[in-house]
Amino acid sequence: MLKKTLLILLVLLIGFLAWYEYTYSMDTVIPFEVNNPSAKTKVLIASQGSKFKDSVVKGILRRYEKDTIYFKVIDVYTLFTVNLKKWDALIFINSWEYGSPPRNVKKFIKNHPEQLDKLIILSTVGSSNIALKDVDVISGESIIEKTSIYTDIVVNRLNQIIKRNNE
């Protein structure tokens, strides 16, 4: 009887984990570029794939479609492959689990303190009380109707970074 109960619990746990992964996992972002890589201003967007995050990325790119700013969009989990010094601004759009950034974002912040002044993080979490030392974090829920609100916030901060770099 005990073996049967444990087996049932194990099957239920595996089923729950499979459902959770299918329901809440993020899609992989296929890298792409917008505009000429030799442009004066270069912006890297590292994101996770989801309907909300993809909409924010598209909204950001749409705001700058008449500009000559070079954008590269990558999956946030491939940050380690990028030479970060060549970018004028960095935008991370990802989900945080339990109020904490993913390990690779934490590692980036720890290993690149000189890059933090050009970093914008949009964290999709249920709480708006996210904070990291020396990093300005925008946080909110992944509600598709709020895409334009978060796009506006990110674009305003990006404009400040670009303006500061051009002074």
84-113: b (≥16 Cβ within 10 Å) or e: beebbbbbbbbbbeeeebbebbeebbeeee
**Interval 15-33 mean pLDDT:** 61
Does the pLDDT at position 72 exceed 90? yes
* pLDDT, tens only, 79-134: 877 787 889 999 988 877 656 677 777 787 788 878 788 888 888 775 445 555 55
- Give me the mean pLDDT over the 56-69 stretch: 92
What Rg do the C-alpha atoms of the chain give, in angstroms?
19
- pLDDT band, very low/low/confident/very high, at 5 (cuts 50, 70, 90): confident
pTM as predicted:
0.77
- Sheet arrangement for strand 89-95: 32-34, 70-75, 42-47, 89-95, 119-124, 137-140
Homologous superfamily assigned to 32-166? Response regulator (3.40.50.2300)
Please provide the average confidence, as pLDDT, over all residues in the chain. Answer: 79
